[in-house]
Amino acid sequence: MKYSQAIITDNLAKVLERIALSATRVGRSKDSVKLVAATKTQGLEEISAYQKACLELGIECICGENYAQELAVKAPQITNISWHFIGGLQRNKIELVLQHSSLIQSVGSERVLIALNKAAQKIDRHVPVLLQVNISNDPNKNGFLPAEILPELIAARSNISVAGYMSVLQYGLELGQVRAFYSELAKMQRVAGLQELSIGMSDDFDVAVEEGATIVRVGSAIFGARIFLNS
């Protein structure tokens, strides 16, 4: 394990403090923001340490995975965790993701939305989802463009319901640009009357909370920067 249990617990406490301070600045309760630990490439030891830290600090343990295969390996081995799927969702991985996710945050096309509903029907399960919105119109990012979010897209279906929006911004934006994009998406969420808004990661979750995030996805601020090995 790269970090000790004590360091992960301390890192988590600092993240929670930043969430609380950001929420207070705009007159919100810290309890209105859910923390999802982004556990892509983290091992079972790190995730277990995070789970213990959540228990010690008295918060719900929610982890987010980017890859269906990783989710399928980790979820059965660590119980009492809520798993969110936060990566790009491919149609051929939908059934695998459905088995383990309490919330699918990253539905980025109508084709995936339709396929997801059909797959959920087969297993008689109702699943909440978030629509991924390419709020910055970045050609390298997945998701719906704001103009594509029509009322019929967020209407209730038999086995899935759209609970809100999520977005992933490109790296390198100035803080003012980040705030503007988050503010725009928060306005879309409020106008649509949706409950959830998943924005903000380790570098900018303070701003995301100030702009209305109900979910923040934090990885490196808890676990440290990911290490990439040359193959």
CA distance 15 to 218: 8
What letters, b where the CB count within 10 A reaches 16 and e where it falls short, cover 178-187? Answer: bbebbebbbe
CB 30 within 8 A of CB 19: yes
Per-residue pLDDT at 226: 64
pLDDT, tens only, 140-169: 899 999 999 999 999 989 999 999 999 999
Which helix (H) or strand (E) is 157 found in, with range?
Answer: none
Pair of tokens at residue 140: 């390298």
CB 142 within 8 A of CB 125: no
Per-residue pLDDT at 225: 81
SS3 call for 72:
helix
Tell me, letter by letter, the H, E, C secondary structure of 2-69.
CCCHHHHHHHHHHHHHHHHHHHHHCCCCHHHCEEEEECCCCCHHHHHHHHHHHHHHCCCCEEEECCHH
Residue ranges in the chain assigned as alpha helix (H): 5-25, 44-57, 68-74, 94-100, 110-122, 151-154, 175-192, 205-210, 220-223
Set out the domains of the chain in order of their start, with CATH numbers. 5-223 (3.20.20.10)
pLDDT, tens only, 31-40: 999 999 999 9
pLDDT, tens only, 129-139: 999 999 999 99
CB 98 within 8 A of CB 83: no
Instruction: Provide the Cα torsion 110, 115, 119, 124; round to 10°.
Output: 40
Per-residue pLDDT at 229: 39
CB 196 within 8 A of CB 164: yes
CB 206 within 8 A of CB 22: yes
Region 175-181: mean pLDDT is: 97
CB 156 within 8 A of CB 190: no
Percent with pLDDT over 90 in the chain: 91
Dihedrals φ, ψ of 116, to 5°?
Answer: -65, -40
